[in-house]
Amino acid sequence: MNQPTGELQKLLQHIDQLIAQAPDEATRADLQRMRARLDTPEMLDMARDLAGRRPAKPEDLVLEFHDPLLPTVLTAAGCVIATAVCLFAVVDGFKSNTAMVAGSPVNLWVVAAFAGAFSVMFSALSFMRTFSIRFDTHGMASRVSGSRWRQLRVGAMLWKDIRSLRDRVDDHILEVRAADGAVFEIPMRVGNYPILHQHLENMVRLYGDRI
């Protein structure tokens, strides 16, 4: 039988306390729905898997979301195509170092060298992030690399300080407001954004402003 891990068990117990203290039925129903989503076999398995792969230290970051410099599909396709061309040129190069392309002779070893370089380049580009945000059991931290998102307000926030969310549809930015009035901004184009948004909504239900 699946049993919650330590951190998840603490969170479920905290939600139970909030349910008992809920000021109205609507708030109580929201908290009960959130608890039901967390207390599923899939969530228990995920929590157990993370606990088994990472040291159980509060400061260890457990979730990370980022916006890649280039679309993942583009870097993956470029890497695969460049690698395939490199392998083809190497294999044929051992038979004959020259091939005819569009009626002109081409040195296959030169082609292999350029294709290999492009493969490495696309692999490197796949690891470049213009925006990163990381979640742990206590809060979140975000940072910007490069010029794409340099105008965003980034930093760190404890979950107990989170108060509200606002979707800015015009510029596709999620605005997160803290108890002290600080504002943090997250681009909606980060990978797995729906999961990120749902997690933040859950934190607002726990600690945020209720209207």
57-67+130-211 under CATH 3.90.1150.10, yes or no? no
Task: Write out the two tokens for 36.
Answer: 């039901």
pLDDT at 110: 82
| pLDDT for the residue numbered 139 | 86
Task: Compute mean pLDDT per 10 residues along the chain, 211 residues long, and list them.
Answer: 57 76 76 72 62 52 80 84 85 74 76 84 81 86 86 88 89 90 90 87 80 44
d(CA 12, CA 47): 13
Q: Give the end-to-end CA distance of the chain in Å, rounded to a whole number.
A: 39
CB 153 within 8 A of CB 139: no
